[in-house]
Amino acid sequence: MSNQVLSVTDHRRDRAGLVYVYPVVSRRAGGVSVGINLNVNKACNWACVYCQVEGLSRGGPPPVDLDRLEQELQGFLQQLLRGDYMQQHVAEDCRRLADIAFSGDGEPTSAPEFSQAVARVAAVLERLGLRGNLPVRLITNGSFVHRPEVREGLAALAALGGEVWFKVDRADPEGMLEVNKSRQTSGRVLEHLRGCAALAPTWVQTCWFARNGLEPDEAARCAYLDLIGRAGDLLRGIHLYGLARPSQQPEAGELARIPEEAMRAWGERIERETGVRVSVSP
């Protein structure tokens, strides 16, 4: 394990020398977020143009070694809480354990062991006396919500007091294909979003950016507002964010941040037209 200090821009997954567990100093979470990466082969069923995973490929993860995941999580949390990991590796103003997040180098719910992984996290939190005191989040593209084992995992996450951040970047089929390389209909996304929100507290997370100098057009905006409006009664809110870190995908050079003022104006419009609360991180 190196003794370098982690920064908010360093999101490499191998920081603690572990396979499934990695620390991230997260602006979003306001401290050290303990990530769980089930997609150790960097394979995802989507290929978002802004994805920060270097060497991303299409596909799903290899079988998850649940015993190892549990041991790594317990050992790492103990180091964070009782060892000197924070003093050695984390800047003083971020020495706070913020959350545990199923995130990583691909879609977590594509792992058939996802619900068992949630159960292992619950067991560790229980043993360390953290259950109910440390938020557990799932960062997901939501495309496997129809699978019974994923629904089981979502219910288990909710029982832990956890929440879901569900990715909806665009809602028009062309936009989803262009941004996420995913062939979906807005009806299908709505079904997944509502299904997810009925099982666990759910936030939408939306990455909003310009491509080749063009911001999403009015048709794309209307499709997005329509979809959110239809799920709005079930949602906790929306995290609207810009390009926080550089894309590692071939399209990186085509993407650009949208000025803060325009991002805030779009956030206000979403709130006004859908009634859903929006937090903006330009």
Q: Is 44 in the site for ligand SF4 (CB under 6 A)?
A: yes
**Positive or negative torsion for Cα 245, 37, 202, 221:** positive
Cα of first residue to Cα of last residue in the chain, in angstroms, is: 33
- What is the closest distance, in whole angstroms, from the C-beta atom of residue 262 to ligand SF4 in the complex? 22
Q: Indicate the pairing of strand 31-37 with strand 21-26.
A: antiparallel
Interface segment toward ligand SF4; rule CB under 6 A; list 47-55, 213-221, 231-239, 265-273: 47-55
Interface segment toward ligand SF4; rule CB under 6 A; list 44-52, 71-79, 151-159, 184-192: 44-52
Interface segment toward ligand SF4; rule CB under 6 A; list 40-48, 110-118, 125-133, 258-266: 40-48
Of the candidates 23, 35, 61, 106, which one interacts with ligand SF4 according to CB under 6 A? 106
Distance CA 121, CA 7 (A): 25
* DSSP conformation class of 4: P
Interface segment toward ligand SF4; rule CB under 6 A; list 45-53, 78-86, 209-217, 273-281: 45-53
Q: Is 51 in the site for ligand SF4 (CB under 6 A)?
A: yes
Of the candidates 24, 25, 53, 101, which one interacts with ligand SF4 according to CB under 6 A? 53
If the CB atoms of residues 36 and 44 are measured against ligand SF4, the closer one turns out to be 44
- What is the closest distance, in whole angstroms, from the C-beta atom of residue 103 to ligand SF4 in the complex? 8
Q: Is 38 in the site for ligand SF4 (CB under 6 A)?
A: no
Within 13 Å and on the Cβ side, how many CA atoms surround 112? 2
Distance CA 240, CA 237 (A): 10
Burial of residue 252, with CB atoms counted within 10 A of its CB: 0-12 exposed, 13-18 middle, 19 or more buried: middle
Distance CA 223, CA 206 (A): 14
Of the candidates 70, 107, 113, 163, which one interacts with ligand SF4 according to CB under 6 A? 107
Q: Is 172 in the site for ligand SF4 (CB under 6 A)?
A: no
Interface segment toward ligand SF4; rule CB under 6 A; list 49-57, 85-93, 191-199, 258-266: 49-57
Of the candidates 20, 22, 46, 85, which one interacts with ligand SF4 according to CB under 6 A? 46
Within 13 Å and on the Cβ side, how many CA atoms surround 274? 28
Q: What is the dihedral of CA 177, 215, 28, 4, to 10 degrees?
A: 90
If the CB atoms of residues 96 and 245 are measured against ligand SF4, the closer one turns out to be 245
Q: Is 58 helix (H, G, I), strand (E, B) or coil?
A: strand
Q: Which residue has the tokens 């050695």?
A: 88
- What is the closest distance, in whole angstroms, from the C-beta atom of residue 47 to ligand SF4 in the complex? 5
Q: Is 267 in the site for ligand SF4 (CB under 6 A)?
A: no
Q: Is 47 in the site for ligand SF4 (CB under 6 A)?
A: yes
Sites for ligand SF4 among residues 144-163 (CB under 6 A): none
Distance CA 147, CA 132 (A): 27
Number of H helices, E strands in the chain: 8, 12
Question: What are the E-state strand segments in the chain?
Answer: 21-26, 31-37, 43-44, 57-58, 97-103, 136-140, 163-167, 202-207, 210-211, 237-241, 255-256, 278-281
Token code pair at residue 24? 């991230």
- Applying CB under 6 A, the site for ligand SF4 has a residue count of 10
Q: Is 48 in the site for ligand SF4 (CB under 6 A)?
A: yes
Which chain residues interact with ligand SF4 by CB under 6 A?
Answer: 44, 46-48, 51, 53, 56, 106-107, 141
